[in-house]
């Protein structure tokens, strides 16, 4: 993936720190906050470098869902809404042509978003990364939503 520095140096710093940690440990070593930040930073870097199709290609739906959860969590509501639309409009079987077109359209939409994504990433990082030792989450790479806070994905419209 092409080097991307984001609008704020903290975004690039967080992405590289989390990538280094992931290389040194397994997913079980990540806190929920770290998993959210990594998902948001990786997806946003792919958007910013116009490599979203490449980033999504191995598993488009799980990666879109993961990004939706991450951007919802950090407060990027317009980004999350755009992701929900793509997820809701997806065909049963996604072709490579569909993926390229959706990625291109999504990049254009997200690069024009009113969400201050870099600021939201930096804010989330500063709020949650100071002391994340109490948040360690065992399990897979997908962060789970807190039980008391339902997400817009709770409905069955997208299934």
Helix %, strand %, coil % for the chain, to 5? Answer: 65, 0, 35
Tell if the pTM clears 0.85, that is, is over it: no
Q: Is the residue at 143 inside a domain?
A: no
Judged by phi (left if over 0) then psi (alpha if -120 to 50, else beta), residue 75 lies in left
Per-residue pLDDT tens for 89-126? 877 777 888 889 989 999 999 999 999 998 898 889 88
Residue owning tokens 């997400």 = 151
Per-residue pLDDT tens for 78-87? 999 999 999 9
Q: Which domain holds residue 132?
A: 9-138
**Residue pair 28/126 in contact by the 8 Å Cβ criterion:** no
Q: Is the residue at 150 inside a domain?
A: no
Q: How many domains does the chain have?
A: 1
* Helix (DSSP H) and strand (DSSP E) numbers for the chain: 7, 0
């Amino acid at each position: 993936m092409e080097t991307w520095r984001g609008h704020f140096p903290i975004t690039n710093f967080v992405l590289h720190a989390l990538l280094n940690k992931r290389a040194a440990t397994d997913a079980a070593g990540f806190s929920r906050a770290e998993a959210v930040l990594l998902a948001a930073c990786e997806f946003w870097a792919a958007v910013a470098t116009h490599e979203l199709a490449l980033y999504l290609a191995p598993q488009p739906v799980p990666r879109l869902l993961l990004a939706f959860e991450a951007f919802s969590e950090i407060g990027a509501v317009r980004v999350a809404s755009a992701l929900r639309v793509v997820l809701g409009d997806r065909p049963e079987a996604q072709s490579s042509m569909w993926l390229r077109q959706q990625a291109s359209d999504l990049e254009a939409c997200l690069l024009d978003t009113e969400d201050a994504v870099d600021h939201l990433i930096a804010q989330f990082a500063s709020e949650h990364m100071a002391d994340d030792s109490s948040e360690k989450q065992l399990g897979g790479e997908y962060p789970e939503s807190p039980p008391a806070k339902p997400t817009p994905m709770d409905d069955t419209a997208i299934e």
